[in-house]
Amino acid sequence: MGIVVQKYGGSSVANAEKFRRVARRIAWKRQQGHDVVVVVSAPGDTTDDLLDKAAELTKNPSAREMDVLLSTGEQISIALLAMALQEIGCPTVSLTGPQAGFQTDDHHRAAKIQHIDTKRVRQELAQGHVVIVAGFQGLDGNGDITTLGRGGSDASAIALAAYLEADACQIFTDVDGVYTSDPRLVPTAARLDEISYDEILELAAAGAQVMQLRSVEFAKQYGVEFEVLSSLAPLPSEGGIEKGTKVVAALSPNNNRVVSGVAVDSKVARITILSLPDRPGVAAKVFGALGKAKVNVDMIVQSAGVVAGGVPTADIAFTCARDDLDLALDVCQEVLTALSGTQLIYDIDVAKVSIVGSGVASNYGVAAKMFEALAERGVNIELITGSEIKISCLVRASQAVEAVRAVHDKFELGKTATGAEVK
C-alpha cells in the first residue's frame, strides 16, 4: 500500500494495443491497493515526427519553440492512456508536466527540475484517481514550457517519486532489467536482482546500453531507489511475475558479489602523441587544450619515449569517443606543433572492455583475474585504467566480443542472477 510511481517509455505506448496493455498493468497495480502515479513518454515515433516537421521549416529552431512543439508528444500520451484506463473502468485523470507542478530552470531542451509542487497530484490521488503525468516537461519561471532533454521522462518519474515520497518507483522499458553484459554479445548474460547507483553509472559510462546517466544521477541525488522492469513481460493479472532489477544506494548486506557486469564500448578511438619533451606541465598542456575544446578524455597513459638528441621525451596516449576524434586530432596537432612533438597517430580499430562492481578495488586479484581471462584467449591489452569500482582494458576491436565473453565466463557472471563472487 502507499504511492507507487510507474514510468512507461515511448515504445510501451507505440499503438492502441500497447496503450491497452499498459492500462491493464496500471489497473492491476491499483487493484493491489496502491495509489498509482504514472509518468509516460511520447508514443513511439511521435517525437521524431515532430522533429521532422520542424526540420522542414528551419535548420536552427529556437529551443523555446522546440519545447512547445515536443511537449505535445507526451500530452497526446497522457490523454490516450487516461482514456484507455477509463475504458476499463479505472478512475483516471491526466496532467501535463506544468499541471503536475514540475518547475524547471529555463534551459530549454535540457531543463533541470527545480521543484515539484505535488498539490494537484495529491488531490487527485485523494479522490481515488490514477494520475497520469506527462514526462519530460515542465514550466520555467516565465511560465514557458520546458523539456528535460533525452531520457527526461525517467528523471520526471524519479523526481516525482522523491517529492511524493513514494514507496516504489518502477521504470518500465523494453528490457526486463540490467544484465551482467549485453545479451546480444554474451548469450549467458544474466539479469541482476539489484545494482547500485555507482555500478550502473560506471556501466553506462563504460558503454553499456542501460539507462540515461542523468536519471540515475538524479535518483542517487534524491536517494530514490527504483526498479527497471519490462513492459513486454506477461501481465501480473494474467499470471506474470513483476521481476526486474532494483537500482539501490547500496547492495543488500548478503550480496557479496564483487563484479556486477562486463561492458564493451566500441565507439572509441585512441590517439598517441609521440616524443613530446618529458618535462612538467606537458601533460597539462595537452589535456588542458582538449578540455577547453570539450573533448572528453577517457583512458590516459604516459610513457617514456625515445631519447632524442640527449633530451628525454614522453609519449602520451589517450582514448576519446570516436565522435570527438576529428576535433581531438586538431587540438593535438596544435599542441604537437607548439611543443615540437614528432608524431601524432590514431587508431579507431580499438574497443574498451570494462568490468564494474562494488568490490573491484577492495578485492585483491580482481584485476589479475581479468587480465588472465584475456590472456587465456589471446587478447592483447593495449591500455589499462581503473577506478574504485571499474577496470577497463583497451583491446583490438576485432577481439572485443571474445574479450567480453572471456571475462564474463571467468567471473562466472552467467551463473547466478545475483552476480559473481571471487572465490
Query: Least distance in Å: CB of 184 to a second copy?
Result: 33
The strand pairing partners of 7, in sequence order, are 39, 171
Q: 16 vs 304, which CB is nearer to a second copy?
A: 16
Is 87 a binding residue for a second copy by CB under 8 A? The answer is yes
Comparing CA positions, the residue from 181, 178, 111, 110 lying closest to residue 141 is: 111
Site for a second copy in 31-50 (CB under 8 A): 50
> Is 86 strand, coil or helix?
helix
Identify the three-state secondary structure at position 20.
Answer: helix
Angstrom CA distances, 291 to 36, 284, 317, stand at: 45, 10, 15
Cβ proximity to a second copy: between 66 and 420 the closer is 66
Q: Taking phi first (over 0 means left), then psi (-120 to 50 degrees means alpha), and beta for anything else, what does residue 207 get?
A: left
Q: Which of 2, 31, 32, 62 is in the footprint of a second copy by CB under 8 A?
A: 62
CA 338 to chain centre: 38
Cell numbers 618535462: residue: 279
Q: Which of residues 185-244 bind a second copy (CB under 8 A)?
A: none
Angstrom CA distances, 381 to 165, 325, 373, 376, stand at: 47, 21, 11, 12
With binding defined as CB under 8 A, does residue 75 bind a second copy?
yes
Strand segments (E) across 217-366: 226-230, 245-248, 261-265, 268-277, 297-308, 311-321, 343-347, 350-356
Residues 14-33 that bind a second copy (CB under 8 A): 16, 19-20
Given 4, 78, 320, 325, the residue binding a second copy (CB under 8 A): 78
Alpha helices in 112-239 (DSSP H): 119-126, 152-164, 197-205, 213-222
Identify which of residues 88 and 375 has a Cβ nearer to a second copy in the complex: 88
Task: Draw the binding track, 113-152, toward a second copy (x: CB under 8 A; -: no contact).
Answer: -------x----------------------xxx-------
63 binds a second copy (CB under 8 A): no
Q: Does 79 bind a second copy (CB under 8 A)?
A: yes
Contact 41, 136 (CB under 8 A): yes
Q: Which is nearer to a second copy, 101 or 152 (CB)?
A: 101
Q: Please count the residues of this chain forming the interface with a second copy, following the rule CB under 8 A.
A: 36
First-last CA distance in the chain: 41
CB 81 → a second copy: shortest distance, Å?
A: 9
Toward a second copy, which CB reaches closer, 72 or 212? 72
Binding site for a second copy (CB under 8 A): 16, 19-20, 50, 53-54, 56-58, 61-62, 64-66, 68-69, 71-72, 75-76, 78-80, 82-84, 86-87, 93-94, 96, 99, 120, 143-145
